[in-house]
Structure 1
Amino acid sequence: MQFKYIFTWLIIILAFAKAESQIAQDTLEIKRKVYNATRVTTVPSVDGEPFEKFWDAIPTGGDFVMTQPTNGQKERDTHKTEFKIAYDDKALYVAAFLYDSDPESIPRQFSQRDEIDAQADVFGFFLNTYNNQINQTKFYATSANALGDAIAEGGREDFSYNVVFKSETSINKLGWFVEMRIPYRTLRFPEIEKQNWSFQIFRRIRALNEEYTYNLIDITKGIETQYDALMTGVEKINPPLRLNLYPYTTIVNDRFDGVNTTEYSAGMDLKYGINDAFTLDATLIPDFGQVAFDQVVLNLGPFEQTFGENRAFFNEGTDLFNKGGIFFSRRIGQTPSGFGNLELLENEDIIDNPNSAQLLNAVKITGRTKDRLGVGFLNAITEKTEATIENLLNNERRTEITEAFTNYNMFILDQQFSKNSSIALSTASTIRNGSFTDAVVNALVLDHNDKNASNNYRAELKMSNRFTPTGTETGVASEARWRKTTGRWRPSLAHFYRDKNWNPNDLGRNFQNNTQTFAADLKYNQFTPVGIFNRYDVDFRIRHRRQIDPDLHTNSEFNINPFFSTRERLAFGGDFNFFTRNLNQFEARKTGQVVRYEPAYFTGGFISTDYRKKFATDVRMGRLKRFNDLEESYNFTLSPRYRFSDEFLLIYRLSWDKNDNRMSYVNTDVDDNPIVSRRHTHSVENRISGTYNFNNKQALSLSFRNFWSRATFSRDFKELDSNGSTIPTDYTLTDDFDPDANFNVWNLDLSYRWRFAPGSEATLLYRNSIFNFDNQGDIAFQDSLDELFTQPSRHNLSLRVTYFLDFNDAKRWFKA
């Protein structure tokens, strides 16, 4: 019955969206400025000084309006903004004149690529080559001559997108100035006589805490990408051959526990424009040896610990693959599923047990047709992984497969309609060689905005199928949401459903099943300055959660979250939450068994000071207390930062967390009954990050993290009755099992990065890491640190050089 209800609800929303699109094929009424780009036969020098004769004949665009803090206000006479756009058969050329009556006050903090939130002014040129009011390709420059690029869909930015373009800036007594050259190889556009493009120009004035755009953006309704201006005059250009090669070579020296190894490797990434709409990306002989450390913590909960994606290939240009939320790229090359489940015979020991599956290669194809159909395909293959086991008596060895040869696939079709809506169908599949589990997960996703941009409707219907050696497991999940997207008062309603068999985890990520949630939000926004405040908002939230089979109210939650930002860039806010009694269906690690937690309240807040000043700090704290129960917890975070100069910034972060008397899972007894007891945990994390920027192409960076956590379980063990309450038990610990924990990890990265040519980079990285885990649950922080330094330390030094090759340039070399 639940499935029929979900399917009916989805069909209703789809029908409504279709009817809406038939009524009006346009979005909200927007006054869109028009700028005519000029075809040229000569090219500018692109040196950041757009004062040469080349620009004299190019029309000027201007009359910018404020986005924030006072939305719609005209630009200041002292800070006018002008721009010019030209093009030829190979590229777009953009010049920006960002006047400032006090150029000495323009902040100029150095930063590296994509770090546009540094303390510097920012110029942005945003281009939509399909004029669909949804997608943008964004190109940024800062007053310190750093560049950035991103792709956006509906206002969501993805800075993992990187292309090769040129940007230079300069400053004189009139203000600061930008020149950009954007080659057509960085863009996707249809091969037609006259291009139908739209664009936006953005300016951030850091000293005034103001932002401006060329075309007015009404922040009280719709989304930013709907407010682009129109660009005319671009015609008779052809998409170039887009073939870029990124060959790389790496040398790594690793020393651990007395063993020293040196390895050399080489490979190549490839980007090929199949046609004007679609691009093929491939990584051949991939090497991810210099990706960032995962932020590992002591995990005592019922769910796996997952980490963000640090590999550029799986980050860049993958916005399409996120439709439906069934793709989690860290599954590719993850820890083998049999890593911790090896069965040893008597007198056997594990000699080798790889903690990750080797990625052999990966390819992806992405693009969007002129009819606004987006297509994405990703394929990745990982090698069979084996553990080596040795008999200690006769030295005989055997191998055991911990992960099969595996093929991962992701395919998506995303059709945009009504200029600000889309419907997508995505499929994720995992195919393993041999008698292992295969899986297919499908998702249908609707995201619709009405013609006035007043309401957003979103619906998802998903199905997972896992093909195990014993049969097929089929699960269903769904989401249905409505939210008001205009005005100060913005309510929203949502329903989330996961049946008990829902499991997308072969290539996706999901933490809960057999649950449904009803959600209601009401948010008040003050968009314009009032008194001392630049803006503020207050968010009221209600969550009602139920177990599906059998139907059971698990808990409800009521939240009030105010946020305030002053004219002087001081931000602060609060968290005030009340939780009803909670019948937690996951803590016991047994299907059908709940653990009861009494009602609780949480109070917390944060303060963030003005980053424009040399010294700034962020502070956050909170406290949770249960009614009629011993459990309570505290957390505190302090993160001061100091900008010694425009070249050097140092940030320190201290996080402290303490939780006492939480009823927690310990073990399972001989009768398969979950055993629980009161658990006390204490965690301390220290982080230091700093960057010295020699210029915007060379930087020395430090990243340090020490995380310590201990856990102690009361020996007053309990069983659970059917309603989740605890009852006495005679369970006792055995000599070979102790649930207490002392967890300590130390990671240090010191890197030098040099962007020696456009798209080309050399990185010299030194790493030092130490790890310790034992059962000293009562150990003090200093003693745990002393124990940590008795463990073997890993020293890793690597050099990686990547070079960018454009096939069009290579052709000219050979002709010469």
Structure 2
Amino acid sequence: MSKLHSTALFFLIFFSHAVFSQKKTLQAKSITENITIDGKINEKIWETASVASDFIMFEPDNGKPISHDKKTEVKVLYDNNAIYISALLYDNEPEKIQKEITNRDVFGVSDHFSVYINGFNDGQQDFRFFVSASGVQMDCLATEDSEDFTWDAIWDSEVTLTEFGWVVEMKIPYAALRFSKADKQTWGLNFMREIKRDVQKYTWNRIDTKIGAVIPQAGILEGIESIETPTRLFLIPYSSAYYQQSDIGSDTTLKAGLDIKYGINDSFTLDAILVPDFGQTKFDNAILNLEPFEQQLEENRPFFTEGTDLFSKGNLFYSRRIGGAPSTEPATAENEEITNYPSTVDLLNAVKISGRTEKGLGIGFLNAVTEKTKATILNNDTGEVRKEVIEPLANYNMLVLDQRFNQNSSVTFVNANTTRNGSFRDANVSGLLFDLNTKKNTYNLYGDFKYSTINTIEDYDGYKAELNFRKTSGKYRYLFSGKYVSKNYDVNDLGINFYTNYHNAYANGSYRIVNPTKIFNTFKLNQYINFEIENTSKKLQTGAFGTEIKATTLRNDYLEFVVEFSPFKTFDFYEPREYERYVFIPEKVFTAINFTSNENNAFSIIIQPSFTKYNEDGRGNYGLYLGPKYRFNDRLSIAFAMDYINQTNYRGWVDSNETGIIFAERNREILQNDLTGKYSLNNKMTINLTARYYWSYSKNHEFFTLQNSGYLTPNSTYAENKDRNFNSWNFDLSYSWWFAPGSEISILYRNYGLERTDMVQKDLSKNLKSIFNSDLTNVLSISIRYFIDYNAVKNKF
């Protein structure tokens, strides 16, 4: 190669790196005419707008420019109500564009275009809006740690498939965004295009995957000036009708309520819910829970899932506490029994305020009030019935102050408070968090200090402290972590935490590729070591070494392998169900494999075998998860999932009596089958099927008494039947129609039942017959929600 060629190549590489490294800038153009969102982009004003182009591959081949036959051109307009985005997405094989029609917020097998907007340009949170090639919308609030797709905004979009590719047109009202009061706006901005058949993603401003932080690598949107945003006031009235029938009888219920969303200013929003109705939320997955801890449930109520990113900071907010189970049980005499104990407490109302100031201070406030709840108690001798309060009128508060700075760092204060009327238990927890990153996002220091105060019969305080340091850039990365949790640390009135009174040391090191090789598109190797020591006894409760390998093949099949060794004798301080008691856990090894075939194929499958072997005769677990899915066409798909676990000679708590703490050696099987189906009539109207059958049994064959040393000795006198057989069935068939932005009609048929017994039945067919012959409950409900924009109503009058 000549010197001239070498010099030219050097400057070409240097110039390319400089272009890829700098932030691109796009100018938004102000308009006064109306833009029709129809996916055609035929208004003349579009021809005068600046163009965002020259997209660069994000993954898998990071840094590779997009080919000319896939070129992408994006423009931005704005007025006092919204920003408008048009995108021309060229494709030399338009017939191969993937376009599965899914439910809202479900990506499916489809090409996508998205815009990432950071109204404060602080490098820490995006408002992301996605549109699939079939016209389905998805949106989320994104931080470096998570994407919250439970957040839903009201915005417009249309898609048109053309002979050269496809076209997207979007209108995003300012009500769906948060930004400063500045006269001249400067926003963080990026566009992303996903070509599904090639499993490739491209962004307008390059995102270097050698750097752990994504959001600070956005480009810049300028040009939005002197906007006068309209009043952000939205009313969402709803009405529901329920018909419920079982062997006990039938019942009809009518409900009505109102959600209110009010923009206090361009940065802060108030959400309120009056007379809540959660009758059509997804069912909870009932299980046979033999663990010493409560079952942690998913939150399915929209008010507590939408826009709650601030409240998740510090992990002090478990929203299922609000309207969950009562906090106490009634005192009863020997001749009394509880005839009615409500499983949940009714929510009266809730309100939340959240937003961020121009200087980066995020403020979140949430308040909820639950109703006084009573249990019914029968005197078996006199027949007298009385009621006793098991949960008083209760008030729940969350306050979050989150100060961002330097485009990538933050300091946060969190307070969670629960106040119950009268002499019932109150609680207060405060936390100070910090997340500090170097200017180039190469290293990170984060941690927290939290303090809890409980006011009950005997008041007590506790605390938790944690410090983490990690390298967040390059092929080789590492993490060092330390934690201390005091004995009386308790956040369980408004949060959820199972483990206390221990200190922990953790470290890991990882290697990853950032560009494809001849074998893998992606590859990551992670090795870790984890130790936890109980504070009082100084005994080891966790001691493990692990290796994780995650990779994607060139055919876009996903592979994962995990092996964890626990070569030390450890002790469980929770299974005995008594304070300062513990039980010995033998050494063990765990391994798991995950194979997920390319989900772009019509047929795909997930296969996940796992195995645990203990250093104890005959004791071990094995499991198998199978998840086949078939996509018949872009409208119809069906998926099945089977999750099977077998535990042999497992030892666990069964009883505590005057003789001591009783353990049992038992065999257990768990089988869960899930069937889901979807038929999309169009991108706003779908029919969905969800069915779940869960069966589990626990068969005890030998009993033991727990000694003070933590070891078990045989108990030949204990004879109570503590076997368990558990059946649960849920079936939901629903129709959903988004007939207008933010407005929905939904019809749901629900069928469910639950059966518990101490007679173990190992024949699956007999268990199925038993649950379907039991008292199944049938519910038919119709719900209508209508979104009212105050400005639209005002303009009509």
Give TM-score scaled by structure 1 length: 0.93
Deviations 1:73-104 (A, max 9, x none): 11011100111101112111100000000100
Q: What residue number does 1:733 align with?
A: 719
Amino acid at match of 1:575: V
Q: Tell whether 2:704 aligns with 1:718.
A: yes
> 1:149: how far off?
1.2
SS at match of 1:207: helix
Q: What residue number does 2:193 align with?
A: 203
Amino acid at match of 1:600: K
What are the equivalent positions in structure 2 for 1:38-187 lying under 5 Å apart? 38-116=29-107, 118-154=108-144, 156-187=146-177
What are the equivalent positions in structure 2 for 1:566-605 lying under 5 Å apart? 566-579=553-566, 580-605=568-593
> Contact 1:516 / 1:546 at 8 angstroms: preserved in 2?
yes
Q: What residue number does 2:750 align with?
A: 767
Q: What do you get for the CA RMSD once the two structures are aligned?
A: 1.4
Q: Tell whether 2:24 aligns with 1:33.
A: yes
SS at match of 1:528: coil
Q: What residue number does 1:22 align with?
A: none
Amino acid at match of 1:496: K
Q: Tell whether 2:638 aligns with 1:650.
A: yes
What are the equivalent positions in structure 2 for 1:410-809 lying under 5 Å apart? 410-468=398-456, 470-579=457-566, 580-671=568-659, 673-714=660-701, 716-734=702-720, 738-809=721-792
CA distance in 1, matches of 2:761, 2:333: 32
Q: Which runs of 4+ in 1 moved over 6 A?
A: none
CA distance in 2, matches of 1:564, 1:780: 39
> 1:682: how far off?
0.5
> 1:394: how far off?
5.1
Q: What residue number does 2:358 align with?
A: 370
SS at match of 2:605: strand
> 1:344: how far off?
5.2
CA distance in 2, matches of 1:561, 1:803: 48
Amino acid at match of 1:545: E
> Contact 2:540 / 2:569 at 8 angstroms: preserved in 1?
no
Q: Tell whether 2:281 aligns with 1:298.
A: no
CA distance in 1, matches of 2:542, 2:201: 43
Deviations 1:170-208 (A, max 9, x none): 011100010001111222222221112120000000112
SS at match of 1:812: helix
CA distance in 2, matches of 1:811, 1:459: 49
Amino acid at match of 1:187: L
Q: What residue number does 2:372 align with?
A: 384
Q: Tell whether 2:223 aligns with 1:233.
A: yes
> Contact 1:155 / 1:223 at 8 angstroms: preserved in 2?
no
Q: What residue number does 1:23 align with?
A: none
> 1:309: how far off?
0.6
Q: What residue number does 2:322 align with?
A: 332
Deviations 1:629-661 (A, max 9, x none): 321111001110000110011000011110011
Deviations 1:444-473 (A, max 9, x none): 1001111121111111101111100x2311
Amino acid at match of 1:294: D
> Contact 2:485 / 2:501 at 8 angstroms: preserved in 1?
yes
Deviations 1:770-800 (A, max 9, x none): 1100012353222222222232010001111
- Aligned-residue identity in percent: 36
> Contact 2:565 / 2:588 at 8 angstroms: preserved in 1?
yes
> Contact 2:733 / 2:748 at 8 angstroms: preserved in 1?
yes
User: In the superposition, relative to structure 1, how do residues 213 and 806 fare at CA in structure 2: closer, same or farther (>3 Å)?
Assistant: same
Amino acid at match of 2:621: S
Correspondence for 2:312 among 310, 316, 322: 322
Amino acid at match of 1:70: D
CA distance in 2, matches of 1:334, 1:54: 54
> Contact 1:669 / 1:731 at 8 angstroms: preserved in 2?
no
Amino acid at match of 2:705: E
SS at match of 1:215: coil
CA distance in 2, matches of 1:487, 1:119: 31
SS at match of 2:459: strand
SS at match of 1:324: helix
CA distance in 2, matches of 1:698, 1:310: 21
CA distance in 1, matches of 2:778, 2:331: 29
SS at match of 2:709: coil
CA distance in 2, matches of 1:665, 1:256: 36
Which consecutive unaligned segments of at least 5 residues does structure 1 have?
A: 1-28
Amino acid at match of 2:773: T
CA distance in 2, matches of 1:753, 1:765: 9
> 1:30: how far off?
5.0
CA distance in 1, matches of 2:371, 2:630: 46
CA distance in 2, matches of 1:160, 1:624: 35
Deviations 1:413-461 (A, max 9, x none): 1011111000001100000011110000011100111112111111110
> Contact 1:138 / 1:151 at 8 angstroms: preserved in 2?
yes
> Contact 1:501 / 1:513 at 8 angstroms: preserved in 2?
yes
SS at match of 2:571: strand
> 1:154: how far off?
2.5
CA distance in 2, matches of 1:427, 1:687: 39
> Contact 1:748 / 1:767 at 8 angstroms: preserved in 2?
yes
> Contact 2:425 / 2:454 at 8 angstroms: preserved in 1?
yes
> Contact 2:175 / 2:266 at 8 angstroms: preserved in 1?
no
> Contact 2:80 / 2:229 at 8 angstroms: preserved in 1?
no
User: In the superposition, relative to structure 1, how do residues 222 and 605 fare at CA in structure 2: closer, same or farther (>3 Å)?
Assistant: closer
SS at match of 1:203: strand
CA distance in 1, matches of 2:527, 2:110: 35
SS at match of 1:200: strand
CA distance in 1, matches of 2:778, 2:386: 31
Deviations 1:253-296 (A, max 9, x none): 11122310001010000000112221110000011111111112
Which consecutive unaligned segments of at least 5 residues does structure 2 have?
A: 1-19
Deviations 1:476-520 (A, max 9, x none): 112111111001111101112221111100000001111122111
> Contact 1:191 / 1:239 at 8 angstroms: preserved in 2?
no
Q: Which moved more, 1:181-190 or 1:759-768?
A: 181-190
CA distance in 2, matches of 1:395, 1:645: 63
> Contact 1:598 / 1:629 at 8 angstroms: preserved in 2?
no
Q: What residue number does 1:15 align with?
A: none
CA distance in 2, matches of 1:323, 1:440: 16
CA distance in 2, matches of 1:262, 1:272: 33
Q: Which moved more, 1:279-288 or 1:351-360?
A: 351-360
> 1:662: how far off?
1.2
Q: What residue number does 1:12 align with?
A: none
> Contact 1:155 / 1:225 at 8 angstroms: preserved in 2?
no
User: In the superposition, relative to structure 1, how do residues 681 and 706 fare at CA in structure 2: closer, same or farther (>3 Å)?
Assistant: same
SS at match of 1:435: coil
